[in-house]
């Protein structure tokens, strides 16, 4: 089956793939690239992405290297302009009423005016981080700083079988799928790694199922519509044999009795008994790592008590206090194209280059002197030195600009405040099962102390 673009995105965008469009630094939109040639949604040229930076027919977003800057197309203001004004949902301009539009269309009769937009977007390959920033929120979601820490603490790695509940908006699901995929497109499902996801809310369950299919993650994610407090974590009566668990539920302690090695009856609810033999959803041959995610300390308390009662060890709690550091390079007396692509006027650039040449000459003299000194002291000089002769033979102002830019100091600016509290993370480990027979077999194989 097709490998998800979250796992193997390829070098270029393709039709049918999810792509993330970066509109501004923290403003992303997820789109499914569509190569239909017929009219789509009233647009003659097929599907179109309308943004406040202009219109982008999908045809201009296809087969481009990921990370490319794509310019807005020049669009006429015919039916498409009309449509944009009508729904104007992702535009800064307020939506006009149907009457206003008809009136203005009469006043300015069907001229095929062409609007050149100087806007652009970046087309980015899908990743769990970008999906988290652009996904449709149906619930609170787990963000990147939390899930990256959680995934390493619960030892989610290639081949791991992980249980997750509730699925919610699927933010954690996408991150965990990438963590457990073993990178081999053809490997057996049992060793590829798998996410067993559970969701109680029917609408969210169906939405998640649809998204997982659209993102070609079906073979990696098995989602079940279920109340896990009541019915636990087995799938079709079979154990997922999980070694990693993440519970983002309002009352995680109510689900813990299902995550044991032996059958346990819950204090508050009795697990449903369908007459079948009880099977643990955990891998009997490995330790299991769990994380529960709860916003209140009272929830933490109840979870910890239940974990201890059920034999979990190494119980600990962590809160992630995330702070962003903006890293940039200090300007050094020149102006380069800024991050929106605007450049200086030609006169300014000439002046900047002249300045640079002066700086560069001083630097060459310094290095030359140093090389001479090194030679005198018998030290070899690894650095290749641009002499005035070589630079005059090959004057390269753009490279000089780059060098000058690189000579600017890297500076970091931390955000003033910590992000507000998200949740407390409770971690614990359930050691592997170890029976008397296993102990006897181990002793027979590796006798010790006799
Ligand atoms: N971790 C998710 C994410 O990153 O997008 C968000 C999970 S959301 C905060 C909690 C979800 O748990 C909700 O969608 C809710 O419907 C689901 N839920 C609550 N009780 C449940 C239960 N007993 N069984 C299964 N799911 C449950």
Torsion, Cα 239 240 245 247, to 10 degrees, reads -80
- Distance, in Å, from the CA atom of 22 to the CA atom of 427, rounded to the nearest integer, reads 35
What pLDDT sits at residue 82?
A: 37
Task: For ligand 1, pick from 199, 223, 269 the residue to mutate: most ligand atoms within 8 Å of CB.
Answer: 199
Higher pLDDT, 421 or 389: 421
- Distance, in Å, from the CA atom of 409 to the CA atom of 123, rounded to the nearest integer, reads 29
**Which of ligand 1's atoms lies nearest the C-alpha of 170?**
5
Find the 388 Cα to ligand 1 centroid distance in Å.
67
**Which of ligand 1's atoms lies nearest the C-alpha of 251?**
20
Residue 449's pLDDT band (cuts 50, 70, 90):
low
Find the 168 Cα to ligand 1 centroid distance in Å.
5
Q: Which residues line ligand 1 (CB under 6 A)?
A: 139-142, 165-166, 168-172, 198-201, 204, 226-229, 248-250
Residue nearest to ligand 1 atom 9, measured at CA: 140
Query: For residue 91, is pLDDT > 60?
Result: no
SS3 label, residue 353: helix
- Distance, in Å, from the CA atom of 292 to the CA atom of 28, rounded to the nearest integer, reads 29
Query: For residue 22, is pLDDT > 90?
Result: yes
Find the 201 Cα to ligand 1 centroid distance in Å.
8
Query: For residue 308, is pLDDT > 70?
Result: yes
3-state helix, strand and coil shares in percent for the chain, rounded to the nearest 5 = 30, 20, 45
| 39-53, 126-140, 220-234: least confident range | 39-53
Task: For ligand 1, pick from 131, 150, 168 the residue to mutate: most ligand atoms within 8 Å of CB.
Answer: 168
Find the 140 Cα to ligand 1 centroid distance in Å.
9
Do 121 and 56 contact (CB within 8 A), yes or no? Answer: yes
Find the 317 Cα to ligand 1 centroid distance in Å.
21
Do 199 and 205 contact (CB within 8 A), yes or no? Answer: yes
Distance (Å) of CA 324 to CA 127, 134, 141, 145: 20, 19, 19, 10
Residue nearest to ligand 1 atom 12, measured at CA: 166
pLDDT tens digits along 311-359: 999 999 999 988 888 888 877 665 555 444 555 555 666 666 676 667 6
> Which has the closest alpha carbon to 305: 261, 257, 253, 268?
253
Find the 51 Cα to ligand 1 centroid distance in Å.
32
Q: What angle do CA 37, 40, 46 make, to 5 degrees?
A: 35
- Distance, in Å, from the CA atom of 39 to the CA atom of 203, rounded to the nearest integer, reads 31
Note the pTM of the prediction, 2 decimals. Answer: 0.74
How many Cα atoms within 13 Å fall on the side-chain side of residue 23? Answer: 17
What pLDDT sits at residue 387?
A: 36
In our burial notation (b when 16+ CB lie closer than 10 A, e otherwise), range 80-115 reads bbbbbbeeeeeeeeeebeeeebeeebeeeeeeeeee
**Which of ligand 1's atoms lies nearest the C-alpha of 246?**
1
Query: For residue 369, is pLDDT > 90?
Result: no
Tokens 């098995």 map to which residue?
Answer: 222
Q: 10 Å Cβ neighbour count for 62?
A: 17
| 96-110, 131-145, 183-197: least confident range | 96-110
What pLDDT sits at residue 378?
A: 59
Residue nearest to ligand 1 atom 7, measured at CA: 168
DSSP letter, residue 3: P
**Which of ligand 1's atoms lies nearest the C-alpha of 254?**
23
Question: Residues 6 or more apart from 440 whose CB is under 8 A from it?
Answer: none
Q: What are phi and psi of 415, to 5 degrees?
A: -65, 150
412: exposed, middle or buried (Cβ count in 10 Å: 0-12, 13-18, 19+): exposed
Find the 204 Cα to ligand 1 centroid distance in Å.
9
Find the 169 Cα to ligand 1 centroid distance in Å.
8
**Which of ligand 1's atoms lies nearest the C-alpha of 198?**
25
Query: For residue 174, is pLDDT > 90?
Result: yes
SS3 label, residue 151: helix
Find the 220 Cα to ligand 1 centroid distance in Å.
19
What pLDDT sits at residue 121?
A: 92
Torsion, Cα 294 297 303 307, to 10 degrees, reads 120
- Distance, in Å, from the CA atom of 445 to the CA atom of 149, rounded to the nearest integer, reads 39
Query: In the chain, what percentage of residues exceed pLDDT 90?
Result: 47
Task: For ligand 1, pick from 249, 253, 425 the residue to mutate: most ligand atoms within 8 Å of CB.
Answer: 249
What pLDDT sits at residue 350?
A: 64
Do 225 and 199 contact (CB within 8 A), yes or no? Answer: yes
What pLDDT sits at residue 193?
A: 92
Find the 232 Cα to ligand 1 centroid distance in Å.
14
- Distance, in Å, from the CA atom of 258 to the CA atom of 230, rounded to the nearest integer, reads 9
Find the 277 Cα to ligand 1 centroid distance in Å.
27
| 117-121, 127-131, 224-228: least confident range | 117-121
pLDDT tens digits along 190-224: 677 999 999 999 999 999 999 999 999 999 999 99
What pLDDT sits at residue 90?
A: 39
Question: Residues 6 or more apart from 441 whose CB is under 8 A from it?
Answer: none
145: exposed, middle or buried (Cβ count in 10 Å: 0-12, 13-18, 19+): middle
Residue nearest to ligand 1 atom 17, measured at CA: 166
Residue nearest to ligand 1 atom 6, measured at CA: 168
How many Cα atoms within 13 Å fall on the side-chain side of residue 208? Answer: 27
Residue 412's pLDDT band (cuts 50, 70, 90):
confident
Residue 113's pLDDT band (cuts 50, 70, 90):
very low
Length of the chain measured in residues: 450
Find the 170 Cα to ligand 1 centroid distance in Å.
10
């Amino acid at each position: 089956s097709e490998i998800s673009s979250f796992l193997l995105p390829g070098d270029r965008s393709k039709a049918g793939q999810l792509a993330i469009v970066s509109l501004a630094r923290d403003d992303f939109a997820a789109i499914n690239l569509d190569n239909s040639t017929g009219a789509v949604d009233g647009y003659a040229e097929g599907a179109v992405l309308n943004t406040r930076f202009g219109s982008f027919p999908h045809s201009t977003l296809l087969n481009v290297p990921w990370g490319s800057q794509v310019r807005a197309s020049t669009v006429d203001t015919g039916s498409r302009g009309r449509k944009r004004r009508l729904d104007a949902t992702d535009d800064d301009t307020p939506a006009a009423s149907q009457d206003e539009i008809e009136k203005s269309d009469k006043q300015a009769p069907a001229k095929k005016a062409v609007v050149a937009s100087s806007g652009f977007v970046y087309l980015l390959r899908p990743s769990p981080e970008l999906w988290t920033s652009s996904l449709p929120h149906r619930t609170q979601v787990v963000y990147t700083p939390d899930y990256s820490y959680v995934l390493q603490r619960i030892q989610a790695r290639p081949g791991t079988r992980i249980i997750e509940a509730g699925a919610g908006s699927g933010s954690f699901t996408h991150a965990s799928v990438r963590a457990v995929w073993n990178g081999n497109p053809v490997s057996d499902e049992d060793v590829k790694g798998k996410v067993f996801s559970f969701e109680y809310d029917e609408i969210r369950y169906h939405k998640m199922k649809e998204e997982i299919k659209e993102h070609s993650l079906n073979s990696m994610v098995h989602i079940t519509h279920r109340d896990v407090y009541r019915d636990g974590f087995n799938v079709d009566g079979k154990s997922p044999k999980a070694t990693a668990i993440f519970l983002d539920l309002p009352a995680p302690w109510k689900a813990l009795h299902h995550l044991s090695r032996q059958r346990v009856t819950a204090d508050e609810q009795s697990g449903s008994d369908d007459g079948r033999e009880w099977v643990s959803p955990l891998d009997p041959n490995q330790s299991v790592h769990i994380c529960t995610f709860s916003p209140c300390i009272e929830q933490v308390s109840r979870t910890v008590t239940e974990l201890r009662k059920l034999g979990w060890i190494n119980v600990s709690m962590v809160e992630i206090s995330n702070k962003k550091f903006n890293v940039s390079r200090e300007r050094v007396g020149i102006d380069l194209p800024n991050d929106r692509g605007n450049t200086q006027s030609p006169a300014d650039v000439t002046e900047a280059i002249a300045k640079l040449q002066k700086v560069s000459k001083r630097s060459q003299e310094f290095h030359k002197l140093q090389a001479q000194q090194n030679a005198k002291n018998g030290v070899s000089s690894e650095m290749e030195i641009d002499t005035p002769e070589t630079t005059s033979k090959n004057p390269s102002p753009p490279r000089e600009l780059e060098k000058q830019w690189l000579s600017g100091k890297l500076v970091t600016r931390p955000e003033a405040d910590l992000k507000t509290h998200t949740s407390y993370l409770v971690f614990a480990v359930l050691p592997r099962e170890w029976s008397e027979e296993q102990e006897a077999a181990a002793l027979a194989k590796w006798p010790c102390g006799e």
